[in-house]
């Protein structure tokens, strides 16, 4: 998510990204101190937007990973991505699965 995206959607200019290897997984956490939201995928889909499910969850799922979203109005948002580093789910520097 770019700085402009964070500012537009979260109402803040601050975002933190942490990436670390935890055993056999790559864990990426993206947090902001913005407006937060109530996750409503059905509403996003009915409005013609892909929402998190289409834009993030699907892609991470293709890598055999999972996504957890923690957010609440007025409390900011944290999105945690966990992707296995195994041969079946690893992604090389060229974007190809390993």
Q: Are 83 and 89 in contact (CB under 8 A)?
A: yes
Q: Among the CATH numbers 3.40.50.1980, 3.30.565.10, 3.90.550.10, 3.40.50.2300, which is that of 3-84?
A: 3.30.565.10
Q: Where are the domains of the chain?
A: 3-84
- Residues 27/81, Cβ–Cβ less than 8 Å: yes
Supply the pLDDT for residue 85. 92
Q: What is the pLDDT along the chain (98 residues), one digit of tens a residue?
A: 556 767 777 778 788 999 999 999 999 999 998 888 887 767 666 766 666 667 788 889 999 999 998 988 989 999 999 999 985 545 554 555 45
**Predicted pLDDT of residue 92:** 54
Give the model's pLDDT for residue 96.
53
Q: What is the 3-state secondary structure (H, E, C) of the chain?
A: CCHHHHHHHHCCCCEEEEEEEECCEEEEEEEECCCCCCCCHHHHHHCCCCHHHHHHHHHHHHCCCEEEEEECCCCCEEEEEEEECCCCCCECCCCCEC
Mean pLDDT of the chain: 79
């Amino acid at each position: 998510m770019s700085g402009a995206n964070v500012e537009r959607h979260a109402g803040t200019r601050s975002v933190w990204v942490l990436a670390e290897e935890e055993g056999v997984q790559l864990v990426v956490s993206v947090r902001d101190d913005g407006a937060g939201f109530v996750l409503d995928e059905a509403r996003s889909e009915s409005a013609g937007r892909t929402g998190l499910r289409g834009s993030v969850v699907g892609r991470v799922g293709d890598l055999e990973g999972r996504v957890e979203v923690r957010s609440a109005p007025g409390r900011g948002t944290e999105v945690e991505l966990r992707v296995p580093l195994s041969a079946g789910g690893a992604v090389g520097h060229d974007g190809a699965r390993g």
